[in-house]
Amino acid sequence: MKLIERPLYIDKIKPYIGLQLVKVLVGQRRVGKSSILKLIKLHILEENPNANCIFIDKELHKFKPIKNDSDLLKYLQTIELQEFNYLFIDELQEIEHFERAIRSLLNEGIWDIYCTGSNASMLSGDIATMLSGRQLVVKIHGLSYSEFLDFRKTGHSTKNLDKYLTFGGLPYIINLPDDEQIIWEYLTNIYNTILFRDIVSRHSIRDTGFLENLIAFLADNTGSLFSAKKISEYLKSQQLQKSSSIVNNYIDFLQDAFFLNRVKRKDIQGKKIFEIGEKIYFQDLGLRNLLSGDVPGDKHKILENTVLNHLLMYGWKVFTGKSAEKEIDFIAEKNNETVYIQVTYLLNEQKTIDREFGNLLEIQDNYPKYVISQDAESHRNTYKGIIHLSISQFLLEFK
């Protein structure tokens, strides 16, 4: 399968090629981490055709015997090495105590190491301590809308935008027939792999039925403001008895597998970050829609989730905002800049216009403010300094 460039990530990694830092690519399964790893290898070989590149793909059967740090070091001892070598490990978390081997290799001073992982906890605890800051972590997302169009070698259209909002941005979907049933079957397989391999098996969860009900509830309530306690109380009303601490743990597991994003709540005036009350979104729209179905009333939830994912792809730190009694969908921060964003489905009623623009007008600072909707065109260029963008304009222009 032909590899397609993704400059958004490759350009972040290029300056660190050859440096004694472990380059760690993390993200949900099937977002393209392995392809980016292979693209980096190709870039290295273009610069140095004689470079010694060793690629270990833990999804391949021939690398199954590498189960722990000792197995990895023994395997590398069987390979003829040069004065300097490039090591690529796909799905590093499948190797027990991998951090010990990585530290040992770094100390040898002859390795440039690149790896991928589908679990956020691989970067915490022992590895953070043992590598002592000698790692560069790059979060890989599914395709942005621009990448989605590039991969399909096409331009923006209402049809293409609808496909993106419906099926999400997992790269392999472009290789599938343009058949909804086949695409949903593919997404179902990805969902089951994440659920059972990255969550149930890793965390020894026995009550998988409750976990699936929890995920379905979160899909139906994408972007709603709630706490683990509120979720627990609702599920109890449905005869599903679990404490708020267990609910919180399960949500942590889902976030750890890059399945969900938790967005904390921030007070705009006092800049305080609230410990309770947050919004939960899905890292892939297709998986979210697989779970919740095509519900007409969900359009604004899908748009909100899309806007969040786009902001995260481009390196924004995102909060949901509280200003007095008003709620602001997103406060996004990057490079000492802040933007405020409201998201709505359509600006087709005056009361909607008054609400979305009005909430932003109450914020007394000069940072940029946006209203994003699915209207085909901007409702107005600006309104009292607030910019309106259609969702396609936002996805194609806002970085």
pLDDT of residue 305: 98
pLDDT of residue 157: 96
pLDDT averaged per 10 residues, the chain (length 399) = 91 96 95 97 97 96 97 98 97 92 95 94 66 88 98 96 97 96 98 96 94 95 89 82 90 96 89 82 98 88 98 98 87 96 94 93 93 79 88 96
pLDDT of residue 123: 64
From the DSSP assignment, how many helices (H) and strands (E) are in the chain? Answer: 15, 14
Residue listed under structure tokens 């149930």: 200
Four-CA torsion 160, 162, 164, 165, nearest 10 degrees: 160
How does DSSP assign 210-271, residue by residue? HHHHHHHHHHHTTT-EE-HHHHHHHHHHTT----HHHHHHHHHHHHHTTSEEEEEEEETTT-
Q: Tokens in use for 366?
A: 């000069």
Q: How far is CA 229 from CA 179, 222, 245, 392, in A?
A: 41, 17, 8, 37
Tell me the three state secondary structure of residue 131.
helix
Question: What are the structural domain ranges in the chain?
Answer: 7-139, 152-397
pLDDT of residue 228: 84
Topology given in CATH for the domain delimited by 7-139 = Rossmann fold (3.40.50)
pLDDT of residue 124: 64
